[in-house]
Amino acid sequence: MKIALAFVGLLVGAGFATGKEVIQYFVSFGYLGIAGAVIAGIVMAGAGAVILQLGSYFLAREHKFVFNNLTHPIVSKFLDFAVTFTMFTVGVVMIAGAGSTLDQQFGWPAWIGSLVMVGIVMFTGLMDVDKVSSIISFITPFIIIAVIGAFIYSLVNFPADLGSLSELAQQQESPVKPWILSALNYNGLALVLGVSMCLVIGGSTANPREVGLGGLMGGLLYTVMLLMSAVTLLLNMDKVEGSDVPMLSMFDTIHPILASIMVWVIYGLIYNTCIGMFYALGRRLTAKSPGKYAPVFLVTCVVGFGISFVGFEALMTYVYPVIGYVGILTIGVLVAWWIKNREMIKKEGLLREEIHSLVEKRENPEEDFTEEDHKTLSSKLEESDMDNTGEVIEAEVCDDDSSEEDEDSSSDANSDAAKTSY
């Protein structure tokens, strides 16, 4: 469940919160868009489970290690470039989206909202980003509650003429056609954005089967969220058409006070995505020279602010589809390797379950851990495909023991682990 919720948290970001992505990729095809959302959700669940399992198998601490191990060095460099390119372009789109959000709600010039966002990102990017982002990430449950509330409201106030709303929806801009390719392009966009953290999240758990189930559960939950958002926006198309931030327009029609709250929830999610993109980009660009992080980080933020003047809608229309196609290729490489080596992953998973049982027995003072057990454990650790299998499993067992001894302490430890993972 922890992995499932973490997976959903990665996907339900600022783009999802504004509603613009959902309209462009799904609702703009009318009824067929709803079918596209179902297909996208199924693909998301399957591909997410694969990515998480790969992270677990390789016990990944960063994405480049996985890329280097599963493909040719040239392809690995391309995948690394694709993730780096995505971080910058999505960061730029978020800056533009911040301007559009405040412009729509308060009528401020778009550059003001974008400048404020860049200023906050530049300031906090030089501080303890983990603490700042861990606080802001608590906004994610609010957008989930908001989508559920808007969905229920839309069903209660079901429109009489659904056909005209579908026709109106099909007049909206669709950057990728037909509807099935649009759904797959959305998968590529969402997954390449979260692939780096998915691999790291998977790498924190030694059992590939567990993280695979977590990915499937998370994908199912995300599918429900995506469907509710798509249906809600379709049922309210007459109120949100032409809006840069459709979800904000939707809440404004329910009650202006709700819109005044939602604008800051969306702005907070935009910040969370934006700081994540530019901070990770700065670290990636200065991997060989960490001391240069600050100037490189600040320069990329300034460049991003300059490019954001192209406009939120224009960037989403032209940039996001490119990222989506790059994402399809990236995820395709990962899934192809998984299909080819799934039996090896399964075998390693069973081996790690045996190692986990032996380590639990060793750490339990009530159990008799014999010399034969010690030899068996050493032999199985040698047999494992990864050098740090024992280290990860020992950490898991110790964490389980502390959970049994003190539930409150375990809660704090999990919180710290989540921040470290970020």
Q: Which domains does the chain have, with CATH numbers?
A: 2-340 (1.20.1740.10), 347-421 (no CATH)
Structural tokens at position 384: 């494992």
- State mean pLDDT over 263-290: 81
Q: Can you say how many angstroms the Cα of residue 181 is from the centroid of all Cα atoms in its chain?
A: 21
Using an 8 Å Cβ cutoff, are 338 and 198 in contact?
no
Looking at every residue in the chain, the average pLDDT score rounds to 82
Return the ∠ at Cα 94 (arms to 120 and 52), rounded to 5°: 105
User: Which pLDDT belongs to residue 115?
Assistant: 93
Q: What is d(CA 253, CA 259) in angstroms, rounded to the nearest whole number?
A: 8
Whether the predicted pLDDT of 289 surpasses 50: yes
The token pair that represents 358 in the structure block:
């032996």
Give the pLDDT band (50/70/90) at residue 421.
Answer: very low
- Count Cβ atoms below 10 Å from residue 135 Cβ, excluding itself: 11
Which tens digits make up the pLDDT trace of 125-169?
887 655 655 655 577 777 788 888 889 988 988 887 888 888 888
Angle at 51 between CA 46 and CA 56, to 5 degrees: 125
Lowest mean pLDDT among 73-87, 220-234, 276-290, 388-402: 388-402
The pLDDT value recorded for residue 302 is 93
Residues 6+ apart with CB under 8 A from 78: none
Distances (CA, A) of 87 to 90, 193, 281: 5, 7, 6
Distance CA 44, CA 194 (A): 11
Give the residue carrying structure tokens 């809440």. Answer: 251
Q: 24-46 pLDDT, tens per residue? A: 899 999 889 999 999 998 998 99
Question: Whole-angstrom Cα distance, residue 41 to residue 37?
Answer: 6
